[in-house]
Amino acid sequence: MARVKICPWWLAYGFDNRLRRIFQKPERILAPYVKEGMTVLDLGCGMGFFTIAMAKMINIQAEGEHLGSQAEGEHLGSQEEGEHLGSQEEGEHLGSQEEGEHLGSPVRGRGKVIAVDLQERMLDQMKRRAKKQGVLGRIQPVLCQPDDILVKEKVDFALAMWMLHEVGEPENFLKQVRDCLKPEARFLIVEPKHHVKLEQFQKLIALAEQVGLKRIETPQIRLSRAALLGLAA
Ligand SMILES: C[S@@+](CC[C@H](N)C(=O)[O-])C[C@H]1O[C@@H](n2cnc3c(N)ncnc32)[C@H](O)[C@@H]1O
């Protein structure tokens, strides 16, 4: 296995915090791909910045219902963390049933996020934050192995956010992700520009293409290089 540097859990506080929303709004980035009722995979979920947003997007409650229950002592968005679901003002939306109908197999009120990480401390923090936001019940945490994502379920969407450069055996990893994708599923790879040079990114995407994925789009995501992939025919 190639030697790679895994982001230490304590460093994640440096980028997974309320300031990150200034330059990365998960709902806006993911709105074209993540719809109600979907099963989605967050690879290298870290402390859950994208996991929690996706857990909200895949299970929007009917009007008048509340996310999280008082009984559980959970609530949406805490003043403490200053996080919220995005607002109309910001031009964001969480997708609608109508929009979601052609993508995957959305079922109103259902959906799940499979959140995979190598580090237990990342998962623990993700769970703590998800509980606070009232969405822990929609998240399946998976403590994976460096060479095995330990997911066999088919998903509608997979995200590898700022993590692929940390994977020791990217070819093996990409094959495992490919095998989890439903025929129409999308796989979004996003790498940080400051860590991953264009050439390195292109090599990773070429590797993805070698294992049977194809590039569909090149989304523009701040501070990042990104590629949207699907299964090659
Ligand atoms: C830089 S952090 C990004 C976390 C999160 N995706 C985000 O954007 O906030 C990279 C994460 O990937 C995880 N990771 C690294 N290699 C991995 C692997 N082979 N399988 C699963 N997770 C991995 C690390 O433990 C770390 O939590």
Is there a domain that residue 44 lies in? yes
Is there a domain that residue 3 lies in? no
Confidence grade of residue 133 (pLDDT, cut at 50, 70, 90): very high
Q: What is the mean pLDDT of the chain?
A: 82
CA proximity to 35, closest of 62, 59, 61: 59
For residue 76, report the distance from its CA to the centre of ligand 1, in Å.
25
Is there a domain that residue 86 lies in? no
Distance CA 10, CA 171 (A): 28
**In terms of pTM, does the model score above 0.85?**
no
Share of the chain above pLDDT 70, in %: 76
Which protein residue's CA is at the shortest distance from atom 4 of ligand 1?
Answer: 46
Share of the chain above pLDDT 90, in %: 67
pLDDT tens-digit profile of 161-186? 999 999 999 999 999 999 999 999 99
Which protein residue's CA is at the shortest distance from atom 8 of ligand 1?
Answer: 161
The answer, yes or no, to whether any atom of ligand 1 lies below 6 A from the CB of 122, is: yes
The answer, yes or no, to whether any atom of ligand 1 lies below 6 A from the CB of 116, is: yes
- Ramachandran region of residue 109, left (φ > 0), alpha (ψ -120 to 50) or beta? left
- Which structural domain, as residue segments, surrounds residue 157? 23-55+94-231
Is there a domain that residue 9 lies in? no
pLDDT tens-digit profile of 20-44? 888 899 999 999 999 999 999 999 9
Mutate to test the pocket of ligand 1, among 4, 5, 6, 174 (most ligand atoms within 8 A of CB): 6
Instruction: Work out the average pLDDT over 115-137.
Output: 96
pLDDT tens-digit profile of 33-81? 999 999 999 999 999 999 999 999 998 754 334 444 333 333 333 333 3
Identify the CATH number of the domain in which residue 194 sits.
3.40.50.150
Report how many domains make up the chain.
1
The answer, yes or no, to whether any atom of ligand 1 lies below 6 A from the CB of 188, is: no
